[in-house]
Structure 1
Amino acid sequence: MANAARLLIVDDNEDILSTFYEFFNSLGYEVKTAVDGFAALKILRDKPDYFHCLITDLVMPNISGVGLISIVKKDFPDIKTIAMTGYGDHPGALASEARADIVIFKPVDLFKIERTVAELIGRKEN
């Protein structure tokens, strides 16, 4: 499956990470996960042209999702970004400020996120 869409999913909640991993993996996506922004950046720097889409929680230790999105937009401008938050409007506003492509509020609908991912990266692959 050489042309499978490649996702990096970042969340400090292991249950969310494993749920997302299983869900997207079962749909044929290639998925890598990270527990915080620092770990995510290491993965991105190891494979700079690899990922199509980053899905990140906003409130995390070390580097926040907002910080991560800002760095990704600057250093990896081809990667689409989806921010997830369960903390009302303020982190959502921050994510918009960091220029996330999409902001999604928790609890998330996995099928809705998958459609969003497909739309975001579909534009790039077609």
Structure 2
Amino acid sequence: MARILVAEDDPSVRAFVVSALSLKGHEVVAAEDGGLAAEIAEEEQGRFDLLLSDIKMPIMDGIALALHVASRFPQLTILMMTGFADQRERAHGLEALIYDVITKPFALADLLAKVDDALVGRPVEVVSLGRQAMGQ
């Protein structure tokens, strides 16, 4: 399976995402902010298949993280997530760097489908029956 770097400042969302991706068989490394994620990416020399990052975070937000990672490791696919419409708008214009933005709260099936899709590099239309929120 894939090696995924997750950057998410909310502990419950981070735990949900890490658990879901780990259960799917992915190797997951998690960071609680963009600054730590950037450090991990550097330490690992970009040896990840996917960066899954929240947009709004302290220290270094997801947009700055995406710009940093894309400049250093252009082969790394970047998938963003946010619960704020204005933050989603900030990601527009970065289409060349960011694969897509998934809106929180998302159902487990939606998250896994979007991650799988980003890993193979094709857009997906996710249809959920019985959307489940992230346990909040």
Report if TM-score (shorter chain) is over 0.5.
yes
Q: Is the 8 A contact 1:96 1:103 kept in 2?
A: no
Q: Greater shift after overlay, 103-112 or 37-46?
A: 103-112
State how far apart, in whole Å, the 2-side matches of 1:110 and 1:7 are. Answer: 16
Q: Give the TM-score taking structure 1 as reference length.
A: 0.88
SS of residue paired to 2:120? helix
Q: Do the aligned partners of residues 49 and 12 (structure 1) sit closer, same or farther apart at CA in structure 2, a change above 3 Å counting?
A: closer
Is 1:106 aligned to residue 104 of structure 2?
yes
State the TM-score, normalized to the length of structure 2: 0.82
Aligned length: 120
| Aligned twin of 1:96 | 92
* Structure 2, unaligned runs of 5 or more: 122-136
Query: Partners in 2 of 1:83 and 1:71 — Cα distance?
Result: 14
Please state which structure has a larger fraction of its residues in helix.
Answer: 1
- One-letter amino acid of the structure 1 residue matched with residue 15 of structure 2: S
Residue 65 of structure 1 corresponds to 62
Stretches of 4+ aligned residues off by more than 4 angstroms: none
After TM superposition, give the deviation of residue 122 of structure 1 in Å: 2.3
What amino acid is the match of 1:39?
L
Q: For residue 89 of structure 2, give the secondary structure of its aligned residue in structure 1.
A: helix
Q: CA deviation at 1:50?
A: 1.4
Does residue 76 in structure 1 map to residue 92 in structure 2?
no
The two structures, once aligned, show a CA RMSD in angstroms of 1.5
* Aligned residues with identical type, % of pairs: 27
Residue pair 2:79, 2:118 contacting (<8 A) in 1 also: no
What is the distance in 2 between the residues matched to 1:108 and 1:40?
22
Cα distance, 1:118 vs. partner?
1.4
CA shift, 1:117, in A, is 1.7
Partner Cα separation in structure 1 for residue 46 and residue 72 of structure 2: 11
Q: Distance in 2 between matches of 1:110 and 1:80?
A: 20
Q: 1:120 aligns with which of 106, 118, 135?
A: 118
Q: Measure the CA separation in 1 of the matches of 2:103 and 2:116.
A: 18
Question: What is the aligned partner in structure 1 of residue 132 from structure 2?
Answer: none
Q: Does the alignment pair 1:27 with 2:24?
A: yes
